[in-house]
Each structure stands twice: as C-alpha cells, then as structure tokens.
Structure 1
Amino acid sequence: MRVMVMVMVMVMVLCLGTAAAAKKKAPEKKEDENKDDCEKDRSTLAPRKRNLCNANDLLFMASRKNTRKVKKLLQQPDTAYLITYSESTGKKKGYTALLWAAETNSTEGVRALLDAGSVVNHKSQSGITALFLVVENGNRDCVEMILNKKADPNTFTENGYTPLLMATWNRSPEIVKLLLDHKADPNGSTPDSHYSPLYLASKMGNSVIVQSLLAAQANVNIQTSWGVTPLHSATYWGHYDIVNILLKNGADPNIQEKDDYTVLHKAVYYNFPDIVDTLISAGANVNLQNMNGKTALHWATRNHWLDAIKALLKTCPDVTIKDKRGMTPLDVAKATNKSEIISLIEGHNAAGCK
C-alpha cells in the first residue's frame, strides 16, 4: 500500500512540473531573425551582402525572362558588380545575366544589360558567349546589337562551334551576312571533323549562304577530316545549283577523299546525270580510281546507269583500267550479263571519240 502511494505522489509531481513548464512562454524571436539575409530590408545590409543578394536576383530574373525586374535591379548601386556576377555551379556555370537573357531570347533584357555595360565577350565555362546564344536562337536584332558592341564573332565553344557555324546550320542567311560583315572567319571549322560553314551550306543546299561565304573569301576547296570538299557535299545530296556555283568559283572536281572517291564517282553512284554532265564539262578526270581501283565507268556499269555510261564514253575514258579485283568495266558488264551495256563498251572507239 505504501509503495502505491509513493508511486502516485511521484506521478503527480511529474504532471505538475510539466504543466508549469508549459505555462512558461518561450522567448520570442524577432521576425527578421527568422529570415534569410536577402529577405530583409536590403538598405540595412552591408554593401557586400546587399550586392550579393542583388546579383543572385539578377541572374534569376534574367533566367526567367523577367525584364521588368531586371531593369529595376540594374538601378541598384554597384551595377558593375551585378552584371559581371555569374553562376558558380551546374551546367550553366559562368553564365552572367546577359547570357541568361540571350539564352531565353529576351531582346529587351539583352538591350538593358548591354546598355548597363555587360561584357559582351564573356564566356561561360563551356565557352558559350551571348553572341553564340542569340545566333542559336535566330534573333537577328540581338545579333546586331551585340555585334555593334564589338562582340568577337570568332569565338569557339568548347565543342568547337563558332557563331557562323551555328548560323549556317540554322539556315539563317541574314545572320550569316551580319556575322561576315563583322569579320567572322568564313573558314573557321570544327576541331575534329573540320566541318566548315561552306561545307554545311553546300550540304544543306542553301545557295544564298554559299554565295555569301564565297563572297567573303571562303576556301572553295576546304576539306573535312575525311577529305570531303563542299563540292563533294553538294554532289552527294544532289544540289545541282550549288555544284554549279562552286565550280564557277574555282572548285576542283578532281580532289579525292581519303578513300579516293571523286565527285564524279559520287555523281555516278547516286545517278545524278545532270551533275555528271556538269562535272565532265568542268574537267573532271574520268580515269581517276578510288581505293578499290574503280573508275566512274566501273560504277556506272555496276549500277547499270545507261545515261552515265554514254556520257562517260563520250569523254574517251580508258576502258582497259582494271580495279583491284582485276576487272575492267567490260568485265563488270559481262559479269552481270547486261547485253546493252556490253554492246556500248565493246562498241566504244577510243580513236574515233577524240
């Protein structure tokens, strides 16, 4: 009994103690003490902390295309600090507010940040500039604004792309012209594949860009890492108009790729008779052999392209040339039992065609 009484007393003491503690009011904290420093009245902050808060806000607002708040932040003290402040982590490391405005395609944001004195040639960690971004977005007005602020049009990203390469890839002739007018290098190419603007424009069949690049002294015979010229590229894709433009500007029809294919080989292979005729007229050597020893006539015979065979035979080719398998074009025709082709080659009079 005595034990039970003692237990009850102890329980009552504990309950009374807890109730008393609950009645005690916890000390109140001032409201500002629960806030991040940047959420406080910034006029009360030290200049360094205030600038840091404003700079981070500027990056955020530019990334959200909030031009009104960007302009408001640019009215704060120490603008020079704000416009040079950049992202410190992540894929966008090195992005300033100008780069964010350029990436989000904010024309007014770009204008405001340029007027505030943003560094136009600043590069992110991956080598991206504001000019590259507005070119990528196809924003001609921003391209012109940035170029007029003396932006360098010949910077490379870490992947080896220039603004001119990007404009060409995007099929943006007006932007290409703007860049070239501001001394963009028409021969700047990617580091590994050596893709040049003229190669890309020829591949895509954009005659306006091709002509702009050639007018800016682009190397008409520039080659990729595989030895492919713009003329090869235009031929592969059947761009007859581009082939003509390139040839008129001095393209060499006899340059061979690393596997020794010429443009004539490819024109025959893909059966572009108009291009075949044009290349022959431009002086393409019909007897050049690829790495397997085949001439254009071998390919025409193998693929049974009668028009190409007739066009090639008119040029007095050497029909006795053998490929690495020891076969002449006539042997190829006989192997496939194409009587009409056999007759054409057998009836070819080399002496009479000269």
Structure 2
Amino acid sequence: MYYIQNNVTPLHVASKWGNSAVVERLLAAGAQIECFTRDGLTPLHCAARSGHSQVIQLLLNSGANYSAKTRSGLTALHMAAQGDHPECAKLLILHGANVDDVTFDNLTALHVAAHCGSVKVAKILLDAHSDLDARARNGFTPLHIACKKNRIKVVELFLKHGCQVDIATESGLTPIHVAAFMGNTNIVVMLLKHNADPNAQTMHNETSLHLASRAGRIETVKLLLRNGAIVDAKSRGNQTCLHVASLLGNCELISILLQGGANVQTVTKDGHSALHVATKAGHDEAVKLLLESGAQCDVMTKSGFTPLHLAAKYSRLKPAELLIEAGAPLDIPGRNGLTPLHLASHYGSVNVVRALLDKGASTRQQTKNGYTPLHVAAQRCQVDVARQILKAKADPNAESRNGFTPLHLAAQDGSVEMVKLLLDYKAKVNARAKNGLTPMHLAAQEDSVKAAEVLFAAGAELDPTTKAGYTPLHTACHFGQINMLKFLISKGCNVNARTELGSSTLHLAAQQGHPQVIYTLLESGADPNLKNNSGWTAGHVAQHQHYLNIFEVLRRVTTSIESWEEIESYDEQVEGPMDAMIDQKQRQRMDKYESHRVSGIPRLELEKPDVMGEHPVTDTEDDQGEDSIDEGIAYPTGSSQYLQTKNSNEAFINGDGFRASGQLLKRVGQGSKEFGGSGSQNIGSIGDCGGLEWNFVPDNAPICRKPITSGFLVSFLVDARGGSMRASRHPGLRIMVPPSAASAPTRVTCRMLRPERTAAPPQLNDGEGLACRIIELGPHPCQFNSPVLLEIPHFAAIRGRQREIVILRSDDSETWKEHSLEATDQANLPEQGVNLEVDITLPKEN
C-alpha cells in the first residue's frame, strides 16, 4: 500500500476526484478499501463529500463500510449532507446507512443538512423518517441550527413536516430565541406564523425580546413588539429589555422600547433603574434620553446608590453633569452616609469632584464613622481631589467619630505630598484623637520617615502619649519599624520612656519579637534592667514569649536579675493546672486585676497599643450599627483587632463597593437570616483565641495545655505545645499547629509572593488571571505529626450577590471550609486538640 502525507492513499485521491476507472483498477489490484487518513476519512467519505455516486457504488459493491466514522464521528451520510448531494444520500440509505447515526457531539445528518442549508438532502432524510427533533449534545435540534444559520428554505421544510416550534434546550432556548438573537427576522416571522411563543423564557427568564435587545437587533425588536412580546418582561434578576438597551447605550433601541410602553422607572432585583445602568456604563446620550423620558434621578439601589453616586464612583463626568442639571440631589447620603462627593473622592474622580463642588456639594457632610470627603481623599492619597476640596473651604481639622483628622490619615498612609498640602491649609500638626493618637504616632506605626520629617519640621511633638501611654517611639518599637526608631532617637526621644503599664521600649520590642529594634535600643542607651508594673524586665517578657534569641541578648546585659529559673516555672504553674481549676468568672476577674501570683511573680499583662479603630464605611456590606469596636493591633495575645495598613494595600474595591484601607474588618450580615447570634462580632480577631476559655471539664486524663498564641511578620518558631499564629501584615491569615504536631522546635515561614517571582506559578486557563498574591509556606520539606490548619481571608459572594470577606480554612490544601463567623473558642477547639464537630462548610466555587 502506497501512502502519501497524512496517510492519504491513491484510492482516497481517486475517490475524491471521482475517477471511477482508476478506483476500479485500484480495487482490482487489491487496494485496501478501509484505509483511514489521519483524520479518519475513508475513500467512501471522500466520494460522498464530493458527490461522486458512481464511485460510491463501486466502493459499496466492494464491501466499503457505510458506518465508518471519522475522528469526530462523521459518517459518509453526514458528508453527503454537508455537500448537499441527494443521489449520494439516496444510495447510502438504500444500502442500509442509519439516517439517525450521530457524531461524538450527537449530531445527525439532518443537523448537518440544517447547518449547511442542504435542502435536497434534508428532504431525503425526512422521507427516510429521520428524527426531526433529534438533540445534539448542546440540546439543539435541526430547527435550532437552521434558525441560527438563517437557512430559510430548511426552516420552511422543517415547519412543513411538523417540527416542534417551541422545543427548548436544557438552558431553555427555543428556536425563536436563537433566531431573535441572530437577527434573522424572516425566520422569526415564520416561527410566529406557526404559533411560536414570543414570551417563552430561558432558564434565566429571558425572552426572545431580551436576546434581540442584547444583540442590538432593531428590526427584530420591532417585529416582536408588534406580535405580542411583553416589553417589560423580567429576567431572573428582574432585568428588563430597557436595562439591557441602557447597558449597551443603544439610544435607538431605548426609544423603540419606550415607544412600545417600557416603564422607565422599573428597577432590577438590586434596585438599579435603567438610569443607574446607563450612568454606570457612561453612556451620555442614553442618560440624556432617559432623563427626558421622565427617569427619576433620586432613586436608590439596595446598596444605597443614586445614579449620581454611580457617576461619581465610576468617573462619569458627562452623565454626572446631566444628572446635576436634572436636579439630582448633591448631598443625599447613601449607605453608611456616603455622598456622591465621598465616592468621587475615594475613587479619585477629580473632574466629578470639581463638578459637584461647583454646584454646591457640601464638604462637611460626614459618613457614619464621621469621615468627611477630605478624610476619604487623605486616606486614599488623592492629592488633586484633596486640593479641590480644600479650595472649596473644607475644614482641614474636621474630626471623625473617634477624633481622627485628615492629617492622621495622610500620616498613616505616608503621603508626603498630602501631609504638606494639609499643613499648608493650617491642619493641626499635633491633633489628638480620642485615644490620644497624633499623626506622628501613625507615621511611626507605618515607618513613614519622610512624612514624620515633614511633621517634625511643622512643629510636631516627638513624645506625645496616648491613653495607653504610648509615645511615637513606643509605637515604632511595638511594630518593629526600625527606620522610624532611628529617626526618633536621632531627634532626642527618650528610649526609656514608660507606658501606663510601665513598659519601656525594650519591653515592647521583646514582646513583639523584633531583634533589630532590641539591638538599636541597646546601642542607644536603653536600660534592660527596667521593670514594668508587674515586675518583669524585658528579658522576662522575651522568655515568656519564647523569643529565645532575644532573651539570650537581654539576659547577658540585664544585671538586676540573679536567677531566671522562677520565670520558667511560672509558665508551667500558671498555664497548666490552674487553667483547669478556675472557672470562667474567676479567670476574667484574675485577668482584670492580676490578683494571683506564682512564686511571687505577677501574671504578665501584654501591652496593647492605641490604634485607629474606626467603624468601617463600605458601600457593599450591611450596616453594622453603632457597636463599639475593640482597639488593638498585631500583638500576640489579648483582645485585639487588626488595623489594615498601607502595606496591605487592599482597598477592597470590588464589584460595586469599597472598604477603605486602614479600616477595621467587621463581621458581615449581623442581622441577616443566614447568621444567628447578636451583638457585634469581628472576623478572626486575636482576642477570640488569646485568653482562651476552654468550655469543657477534663476527665481523669492528663490536663491539656493551651497552645501558644502569637503574631508573626515572616516566620515563627513552634514546638510541641503547638500554636495559633496570626500574620501581623496580612489580617485574617492564620496558621494553627495542633499540640504535639511538631516533633521538634520548627521555624515556619510564610511569605506573600508575586506570581512572577515564583519558580512554578499556578496554571491558568485562557482569560484567567491571578487576583491575589501567592502564599509560600516553609520549610520544605517538613513533616508534622498531624494536619496543620491554614486560614485565609477570601472575597466571596456566598450568601446572595453582595461581596463579603469570609475566612477559609484547610488542613490539606485541597478541601476548604468557611470558618465560623462567631469565631469563638468553641469553634477553634477541634483544631486545638479537642474533639468537637464544626458543621459549617463552604460551597465549592466554579
């Protein structure tokens, strides 16, 4: 047998070109009749596709298999239908070819004839009783395909033979849906004459009018409206055709729908009117047309947005001007008190800000947490926006609910330009919040040396104290900000200043585990012999926190302690048997008053700095009321909350909302039906596992010891006691190592990597992209005796369409569950060695 490229034989070539004499000679010479090309074509396929009935007869007489299929499942009859060769089709059917034989996609020869417009073959197939309503894999019948390809003659033939005119696919598409979407008006007319339902709905409740509108088929829309299509029919999200047209900005289509009786005030399930949709998409002419048709510009969505809010958020200047001219309220408060000016300030819409201010928008309007538009601009480092607001006579010293000024927020962000701008407009450089924080404290917290230099040059105090007694130097030491530490020391700050609990800067650095800070403080004259109000030196604190390297450094320079052994026995006595003996009320009383002693050493009270704890302002989540929020940050134990810093740089701008960076994360849906409980609860606060109240009574068994709870920057050391370690830089990220999981002291590292810096980045499909960084855990390889739990904050839309933050946890990296929003110790006990069930599961995402 002689083959050429792709396994094509001489018999294939002769069959394709219809050379019956050569075919006959090849067959007589013993040519293999069932030879296949690389695509699975036989000589019979080639002859049928080209319409050579004489060659087909020769091949069939020689025993050719009329049921042979190509790689995609096509038979010779499919090929004859493709080329519309009726004689070939008759011949194959006469020799026994199955008229309803299907390809791997369940396509019959009639499907192929409908696709190619092969009317003659289609008639032969129907005369041979081919299934007129056969379904392909996607549910399409031959009529669906003919409607899609605009095969008018084929559609006439199918209708004449009595096909089901309203037959639907699994997704609910009928032939009239397909024809309307493709704009095949003549076929729509034919279907309507055969009583096709123009208001039939898909599984998404879309009618043929919806699909015609979505595709911009003007003539088809007119035809459907004349033949009984409901103009205000609503899809699953209560979206009408007018919403669809407004999204496209198709003014001609909008006019036709309005003339057909469309209600311009109809809103979707989320409360969006057509005016909202057109404004958000930035279609100026559509906005103008809707306003002229009577659309109301003060209607609010369920998220608390008017069309002007959306214009401000998405920087739609022309729609904003049109709305203002139409009388849209400028200072109407939306969700959490956000006005259009707040949103324009947050998203940096300078032109919209200018337009709002020119028409008299208030610069003093406050959100529920007391933020003015200037606060928002300062927090988001929108310098140009802030300049416009300040020119409009905004108060640079306006205070939020907790007493923070725009300068506080600018200092926290570290924006030198913003700090200078506010100072130029007479912002108070030493303004104090209600907890005593000054801008210098926040600059120290974020290691913003350049901002601190500007503040200092403007007369900022270097040693102001908060209610907890923290100076900026204490704050820098607590957060491990070495550059701010050096700056403050160079300006003469007291390295031995004390907090209200008597802690020095060394105590705080030892508590938080910052060795570089310890070295710098010691070199600058910090006294390691100082004791806090409980009688602990910095060395005691480091030993208690299990920072062994820091402890060794401090032990060598501390001269006031003769023996370090009693502090070691203290841990065992306090955290061992006594935890099992005292009840919950006793524990709370003892924690509060530090009333019990072991070996004469008081219980250690860890420092908690004053932080910016504002009530979160968001345009996506349900309002949480006026509940108080715990204030604390990034310390190992005790009641605490995380403050999102500029380093996290996660402004949570997703969907239709934002949560400004620097805001506390608070539980979503407090009053929703999906969640029980009462009061304000915070997702994943350290306080939930710091002073653990273990609600069980031990039987006659060894007393279980509480795991260590701490925070970490990049790595932490874990031993047989296990631990609950929370990332200081990335709120919500937590690693829980059960007791006895580590056979030996092990240093665990956790880094956030960018995709381009990974050796083996995750595989992505076409059109996909990473929305976050990659978490790298080490060491590798490392074997633990039991599963280690990882918790990661994640954006999801689990309960409805509002986006929210949920905590996903996994102990095998394959199966992820949603962490209980109650975040109590009871919910954490299974991962800490106590056998209780947690029945909250997270639905898998597509």
Match of 1:210 in 2: 287
Match of 1:269 in 2: 346
Q: Give, in angstroms, the shift of residue 211 of structure 1.
A: 1.2
User: Counterparts of 1:142-161 in structure 2 under 5 Å?
Assistant: 142-161=220-239
CA distance in 2, matches of 1:102, 1:330: 58
Q: Contact 1:131 / 1:151 at 8 angstroms: preserved in 2?
A: yes
* Equivalent position amino acid for 1:262 in 2: T
- SS of the residue corresponding to residue 344 of structure 2 reads helix
Pick aligned residue for 2:336 from 259, 280, 287: 259
Q: 1:195 to 1:40 in 2, by over 3 A?
A: closer
User: Counterparts of 1:43-192 in structure 2 under 5 Å?
Assistant: 58-59=143-144, 61-62=146-147, 65-75=150-160, 82-83=164-165, 85-87=166-168, 90-92=170-172, 95-191=173-269
| Runs of 4+ residues over 6 Å off in structure 1 | 50-53
| Structure 1 alignment gaps of length 5 or more | 1-29, 348-354
Q: Contact 2:332 / 2:339 at 8 angstroms: preserved in 1?
A: yes
- SS of the residue corresponding to residue 426 of structure 2 reads helix
Cα deviation, 1:207-236, whole Å, max 9, x if unaligned, reads 111112112222212222211221111112
- SS of the residue corresponding to residue 259 of structure 1 reads helix
CA distance in 2, matches of 1:169, 1:317: 36
Cα deviation, 1:159-193, whole Å, max 9, x if unaligned, reads 432212222223322212211221212232321x3
Q: Give, in angstroms, the shift of residue 201 of structure 1.
A: 1.1
Q: Contact 2:198 / 2:229 at 8 angstroms: preserved in 1?
A: yes
* Equivalent position amino acid for 2:225 in 1: L
Is 2:406 the partner of 1:329? yes
* Equivalent position amino acid for 2:214 in 1: E
Is 2:292 the partner of 1:292? no
- SS of the residue corresponding to residue 345 of structure 1 reads coil
CA distance in 1, matches of 2:238, 2:190: 29
Which structure has more RCO (C-alpha within 8 Å, separation ≥ 6)? 1
Match of 1:26 in 2: none
Match of 1:3 in 2: none
CA distance in 1, matches of 2:204, 2:381: 51
Is 2:223 the partner of 1:223? no
Q: Give, in angstroms, the shift of residue 323 of structure 1.
A: 0.9
Cα deviation, 1:252-285, whole Å, max 9, x if unaligned, reads 1112231322111122233333322321232312
Q: Contact 2:243 / 2:273 at 8 angstroms: preserved in 1?
A: yes
Q: Give, in angstroms, the shift of residue 62 of structure 1.
A: 2.9
Q: Contact 2:313 / 2:349 at 8 angstroms: preserved in 1?
A: no
* Equivalent position amino acid for 1:249 in 2: A
Q: Contact 1:267 / 1:276 at 8 angstroms: preserved in 2?
A: yes
RMSD: 3.5
CA distance in 1, matches of 2:236, 2:376: 41
* Equivalent position amino acid for 1:178 in 2: I
Q: Give, in angstroms, the shift of residue 39 of structure 1.
A: 6.2
- SS of the residue corresponding to residue 210 of structure 1 reads helix
Q: 1:116 to 1:268 in 2, by over 3 A?
A: same
Q: Give, in angstroms, the shift of residue 303 of structure 1.
A: 5.1
Q: 1:139 to 1:286 in 2, by over 3 A?
A: same
* Equivalent position amino acid for 1:279 in 2: L
CA distance in 1, matches of 2:271, 2:367: 22
Q: Contact 2:150 / 2:187 at 8 angstroms: preserved in 1?
A: yes
Match of 1:345 in 2: 426
CA distance in 1, matches of 2:406, 2:133: 76
* Equivalent position amino acid for 1:231 in 2: L
CA distance in 1, matches of 2:371, 2:126: 79
Q: Give, in angstroms, the shift of residue 334 of structure 1.
A: 7.0
Q: 1:344 to 1:116 in 2, by over 3 A?
A: same
Q: Contact 1:304 / 1:341 at 8 angstroms: preserved in 2?
A: no
Q: Contact 1:330 / 1:345 at 8 angstroms: preserved in 2?
A: no
CA distance in 2, matches of 1:320, 1:306: 16
Q: Contact 2:330 / 2:340 at 8 angstroms: preserved in 1?
A: yes
* Equivalent position amino acid for 2:252 in 1: E
CA distance in 1, matches of 2:382, 2:303: 27
Which segment drifts farther, 289-298 or 64-73? 64-73
- SS of the residue corresponding to residue 234 of structure 2 reads coil
Q: Give, in angstroms, the shift of residue 246 of structure 1.
A: 0.6
* Equivalent position amino acid for 1:261 in 2: L
CA distance in 2, matches of 1:288, 1:223: 18
Q: Give, in angstroms, the shift of residue 329 of structure 1.
A: 3.4
Q: Give, in angstroms, the shift of residue 75 of structure 1.
A: 4.6
Q: Contact 2:200 / 2:207 at 8 angstroms: preserved in 1?
A: yes
CA distance in 2, matches of 1:273, 1:91: 45
CA distance in 1, matches of 2:151, 2:282: 39
Cα deviation, 1:43-88, whole Å, max 9, x if unaligned, reads xx9xxxx9989xx764563355422121234456xx7x954x423x
Pick aligned residue for 1:199 from 276, 280, 284: 276
Q: 1:275 to 1:59 in 2, by over 3 A?
A: closer
* Equivalent position amino acid for 2:210 in 1: F
- SS of the residue corresponding to residue 337 of structure 2 reads coil
CA distance in 2, matches of 1:135, 1:63: 16
CA distance in 1, matches of 2:300, 2:315: 19
Q: 1:334 to 1:98 in 2, by over 3 A?
A: closer
CA distance in 2, matches of 1:90, 1:234: 39
Q: Contact 2:249 / 2:285 at 8 angstroms: preserved in 1?
A: no
Q: Contact 1:334 / 1:342 at 8 angstroms: preserved in 2?
A: no
Q: 1:149 to 1:306 in 2, by over 3 A?
A: same
Q: Give the strand-richer structure, 1 or 2.
A: 2
Question: How many equivalent residue pairs?
Answer: 301
CA distance in 2, matches of 1:263, 1:177: 29
Q: Contact 1:264 / 1:279 at 8 angstroms: preserved in 2?
A: yes
Q: Give, in angstroms, the shift of residue 320 of structure 1.
A: 4.7
Q: Contact 2:396 / 2:425 at 8 angstroms: preserved in 1?
A: no
Q: Contact 1:228 / 1:257 at 8 angstroms: preserved in 2?
A: yes
Q: 1:304 to 1:155 in 2, by over 3 A?
A: closer
* Equivalent position amino acid for 2:406 in 1: P
CA distance in 1, matches of 2:197, 2:221: 15
